[in-house]
Amino acid sequence: MPRDTDPIATSVWMRPPPRSRGEQPPLSRDQIVSAAIELLDAEGLDGLSMRRLGNKLDAGATSAYWYVTNKDELLDLAVDKVMGEIDIPDADEVGWQTVCGAYAQQYRSAILRHPWMIGLMGIRLTLGPNAMRMGDRLIEALAAAGFTRAELAFASSMLTSHAIGSATIEAAMHTASARAGKSTNELVAEVGPYLRSLKADYPSYVGWWHENKSMDMEKVLGDGFNFGLERLLDSLEMWLHRTKRPG
């Protein structure tokens, strides 16, 4: 695989910190990464370029290149800064289920605040200090609960997949609403006449929809995520009792 397409070889975390290359620029790395996140939040992944970032900072791209060599490295830093928004409590203080719940809830919320992250999931390494702190806290909690070896990875993956999957669907609905200039509820209501025309063919689905058509979609999305998360935690607890704990 060519180096420029290798997500490991091109990760900012896999090379030594930049050495001094003359006079340090007036802007700090944190300022540059924060400006990049603002661009990403406003315009998505396609809206970020080193040139546009330089224009936003009114400093050209030179300041950014002091810290990174390309856009991919800048994205690595941006993702890790977002990971820093996730504050997971200590398992010794609150218990493993609370830790796991907080992890999934805050991960989902971070993605919804920064939906451009969806396009980087599984593509760029998340090995920065904030991501490592988050992962370490989650593993600590799962290990304390009794998960070991591969089963710990499976449990972690379940929680992560639920958070990312829920956020991906909700972010897509928000994008569709914004493009249409309508609320999610308004878009759903527009489907009503079509669904009613299908009642004879799909009576269970259409009947359920008709009975629940007044539901607030934003609330449904949040409640649905919480319902799924609670069932995941319940099932993990049941599995632990069945396989790990006598009696």
Q: Could you tell me if residue 196 is inside a domain? A: no
Claim to verify: residue 156 and residue 130 sit in the same structural domain: yes
Claim to verify: residue 173 and residue 128 sit in the same structural domain: yes
Longest Cα separation, the chain: 75
Q: What is the DSSP string of 196-246?
A: HTTTTT-HHHHHHHHHTTTS-HHHHHHHHHHHHHHHHHHHHHHHHHHHTS-
Nearest to 129, CA basis, from 36, 199, 30:
30
Q: Residue 78 sits in a domain of what CATH number?
A: 1.10.10.60
Per-residue pLDDT reduced to its tens digit, 176-216: 999 999 999 999 899 999 999 999 999 999 999 989 888 99
Amino acid occupying residue 126: T
CA-based end-to-end distance of the chain: 52
Considering 28, 54, 83, which residue would you say is the last residue of a domain?
Answer: 83
CA distances 118 to 23, 123, 161, 168, 183, Å, are 36, 10, 12, 7, 22
- Please say whether the dihedral angle defined by the alpha carbons of residues 197, 201, 205 and 210, taken in this order, is positive or negative: positive
Confidence of residue 129 (pLDDT cuts 50, 70, 90): very high
When the pLDDT of each residue in the chain is averaged and rounded to a whole number, the result is 89
Q: Could you tell me if residue 27 is inside a domain? A: yes
More confident: 54 or 228: 228
Alpha helices (H) along 146-216: 149-180, 184-190, 192-196, 203-211
Q: Is the pLDDT of residue 19 over 70?
A: no
More confident: 132 or 6: 132
Considering 83, 109, 125, which residue would you say is the last residue of a domain?
Answer: 83
Q: Is the pLDDT of residue 3 over 70?
A: no
Per-residue pLDDT reduced to its tens digit, 159-174: 999 999 999 999 999 9
Question: What's the rounded mean pLDDT across residues 227-233?
Answer: 97
Amino acid occupying residue 27: L
Q: Are 82 and 110 in contact (CB under 8 A)?
A: yes
Query: Cα–Cα distance between 56 and 38 in angstroms, integer?
Result: 10
Confidence of residue 67 (pLDDT cuts 50, 70, 90): confident
Confidence of residue 20 (pLDDT cuts 50, 70, 90): low
Confidence of residue 7 (pLDDT cuts 50, 70, 90): confident
Claim to verify: residue 63 and residue 164 sit in the same structural domain: no
Q: Residue 160 sits in a domain of what CATH number?
A: 1.10.357.10
Q: Is the pLDDT of residue 125 over 60?
A: yes
Q: Is the pLDDT of residue 12 over 90?
A: no
Confidence of residue 9 (pLDDT cuts 50, 70, 90): confident
Q: What is the residue range of 53's domain? A: 3-83
Claim to verify: residue 112 and residue 38 sit in the same structural domain: no
Claim to verify: residue 96 and residue 64 sit in the same structural domain: no
Q: Is the pLDDT of residue 54 over 50?
A: yes
Nearest to 75, CA basis, from 110, 24, 119:
119
Angle between helical axes of 217-243 and 149-180 (0-180°, round to 10): 170
Considering 65, 83, 101, which residue would you say is the last residue of a domain?
Answer: 83
Confidence of residue 1 (pLDDT cuts 50, 70, 90): very low
Nearest to 76, CA basis, from 113, 23, 131:
131
Claim to verify: residue 35 and residue 96 sit in the same structural domain: no
Claim to verify: residue 138 and residue 228 sit in the same structural domain: yes
